Structure 1
Amino acid sequence: MFQQNYPQVNHNYVFELNKDFNFSAAHYIPSEDAGKCMRTHGHTYFVNLTIAGDELDHNGFLVNFSDLKKLVHGSFDHQLLNELPMFKGKSPSTEVVAQTIYEIIQNNLDARSNKPHCLQVYVRETPTSYVVYRPKEHQNG
Structure 2
Amino acid sequence: MVYLTRRVTFSAAHRLWSEYLSEDENYNVYDKCANPHGHGHNYILEVTVRGEPEPTTGMVLNLTDMKRIINELVVDGVDHKHLNYDVAWLEGVIPTAEMLVIKFWERLAPAFEGRLYEITLHETENNYASYRGLEA
Moved more, 39-48 or 28-37: 28-37
Alpha-carbon shift at residue 35 of structure 1 (Å): 1.4
- Runs of 5+ unmatched residues, structure 1: 1-13, 111-115
Q: Distance in 2 between the 1:122 and 1:130 partners?
A: 7
Q: Does 1:85 align with 2:88?
A: yes
| Structure showing greater Rg | 2
Q: TM-score, normalised by structure 1?
A: 0.74
Q: Deviations over 1:15-59 (max 9, x none)?
A: 421000110000001132311111100000011111113475x97
Aligned partner of 1:126: which letter? T
Matches of residues 110-129 of structure 1 in structure 2 within 5 Å? 110=113, 116-129=114-127
CA RMSD of aligned residues (A): 2.1
- Matched residue SS, 1:82: coil
Count of paired positions: 119
Aligned equivalent of 2:47, options 24, 46, 49: 49
Q: Does 1:66 align with 2:62?
A: no
- Runs of 5+ unmatched residues, structure 2: 19-25
Alpha-carbon shift at residue 109 of structure 1 (Å): 2.1
Alpha-carbon shift at residue 68 of structure 1 (Å): 3.2
Q: Distance in 1 between the 2:126 and 2:83 partners?
A: 21
Q: Distance in 2 between the 1:49 and 1:66 partners?
A: 10
Counterpart position of 1:7: none
Aligned partner of 1:92: which letter? P
Identity %: 27
Q: Distance in 2 between the 1:103 and 1:66 partners?
A: 17
Q: Is the 8 A contact 2:51 2:60 kept in 1?
A: no
